[in-house]
Amino acid sequence: MISINGTQINYYYICKTKLWLFSHNIHMEQESDNVKFGKTLHEDSYKKDNEVLIDNLINVDFIKHNNPIEIHEVKKTQSMKKSHEFQLLYYIYYLKKEKGLNNVVGYLNYPLNRKMFKIELISEKEKELESTLFDINKIICSDIPKPKKSRICRKCAYFEFCFC
């Protein structure tokens, strides 16, 4: 099975074309104003909390070493909450399966809205996540999926690649 990172999980729930492009090292995010804003938002909102990169696959925005261990993901808006949720669920899943950590809970932080949501890996979500991992591998190993235009496309870093 191919190594999968958190961004790929996130993109799976947003756009299969974006997932495929990113997975084949076609990266356009560094030019995106939305991505730059998100990085600034994290830096400004959580100055004393540092990102933690684990096994070069998962990049947790910050960790609180409580009992249970808290992993936090900071996002700009809730508009793609399902993709955010499954990215965080993947981090919890990875820590459970690869690191043997069973006492981990996640939090989605939306500082602009002053909201925080607790995310836990329950068996139903774990099964859906495993199905997602299987689908991601199939997408990556296939030809590029045809882009499906939606309302979120105009803000996407890959918009011109897909539609111009």
Q: What is the pLDDT of residues 52-61, one digit of tens each?
A: 999 999 999 9
**137 lies in some domain:** yes
**The overall pTM is greater than 0.85:** yes
Work out the mean pLDDT of the chain and round it to a whole number: 90
Percent of the chain residues topping a pLDDT of 70: 86
Tokens of 14: 């947003």
Q: Is 129 domain-assigned?
A: yes
Statement: residue 103 has pLDDT above 80: yes
Q: Which domain holds residue 44?
A: 6-163
Sign of CA dihedral 75, 79, 81, 83: negative
Burial class (CB in 10 A: 0-12, 13-18, 19+), 109: buried
CA atoms within 13 A on the CB side of 15: 20
Give the CATH number of the domain where residue 101 resides: 3.90.320.10
In a domain, 136, yes or no: yes
pLDDT tens profile 127-158:
999 999 999 999 999 999 999 999 999 888 89
**Over residues 17-33, mean pLDDT:** 84
Residue 4: pLDDT over 80: yes
Query: What is the count of structural domains for the chain?
Result: 1
Would residue 1 count as lying in a domain? no
pLDDT at 39: 58
In a domain, 112, yes or no: yes
For residue 2, pLDDT over 90 is answered with no
Flag whether 16 is in a domain: yes
- The answer on pLDDT for 101 being more than 80 is yes
User: Does residue 121 sit within a domain?
Assistant: yes
**Any domain includes 64:** yes
For 71-97, the pLDDT digits (tens) are 999 998 999 999 999 999 999 999 999
